[in-house]
Chains A and B, each alone.
Chain A
Amino acid sequence: GENVEQHPSTLSVQEGDSAVIKCTYSDSASNYFPWYKQELGKGPQLIIDIRSNVGEKKDQRIAVTLNKTAKHFSLHITETQPEDSAVYFCAARSVNTGFQKLVFGTGTRLLVSP
């Protein structure tokens, strides 16, 4: 089945710096890759997603890139702010599970220091 690896597990940056979180997936039939942000005491919330027919997607300060050949995708946050501090999860979904399962990475704790 699908396996998603996520790195790093923790990331500390200064306010205004960029942050990059990377994920790799194993199932070449995966075609949907969302990123979720989990703030303390809350459930994960979708922040951006990308499909396999697109190489890059941007939404203000966040962007996601996808390299299907290498089977990896990354989340880029520019001009980080303290409110970006949270745990971020990547995920992947495959046609081999009938699109019914999201497999999550293990999460990255991002800390943005003022």
Chain B
Amino acid sequence: EAQVTQNPRYLITVTGKKLTVTCSQNMNHEYMSWYRQDPGLGLRQIYYSMNVEVTDKGDVPEGYKVSRKEKRNFPLILESPSPNQTSLYFCASSPALGLAGGEQYFGPGTRLTVT
């Protein structure tokens, strides 16, 4: 089954404790992206990657890191989480974007609480 998986689905952590949220897709998509969803703010892009070893900042990259060492994986790293990073996080993937378009497929989400 074609899908985007994220782990963990739920995470409660404390300020400053490094964490990684994993994202994996099995559709051989070039493009992957991370979003955070907050009430009243919709989905805001954190980072995206157009292919292996190619990443770029989205609209809200502060406090986050990503890497794309393999095509299928795109982990989100919070080196020193803070309470304002409490949010619902989504990973998405799509075939290469561009004039041809490309539907984004979203993972099920990771609800992160930082105390």
Contacts and interface: CB of A to CB of B under 8 A. Distances in A.
Interface of A: 1, 6, 9, 32, 34, 36, 41-46, 49, 51, 89, 91, 93, 99-107
B58 A43 contact: no
Max chain B Cβ within 10 angstroms of own Cβ: one of A36, A89, A102, A105: A102
Contacts of B31: 100
Contacts of B59: 1, 103
Interface stretch (B41-49, B65-73, B75-83): B41-49
Contacts of B58: 101
A1 B60 CA distance: 13
Given A100-B56, A102-B104, A89 B99 contact: no
15 contacts: A6-B42, A34-B103, A42-B109, A43-B4, A43-B107, A46-B103, A49-B101, A89-B43, A99-B97, A100-B56, A101-B48, A101-B58, A104-B35, A104-B43, A107-B42
Contacts, number: 57
A44 B42 contact: no
Given A34-B103, A49-B103, A104 B108 contact: no
Interface of B: 4, 31, 33, 35, 40-45, 48, 50, 56, 58-59, 90, 92, 97-99, 101, 103-104, 106-109
Contact of B90 (A1, A44, A51): A44
A101 B45 contact: yes
Contacts of A91: 43
A38 to B, nearest CB: 8
Given A43-B106, A44-B43, A45-B106, A100 B48 contact: yes
B48 A51 contact: no
Contacts of A1: 59
A100 B49 CA distance: 9
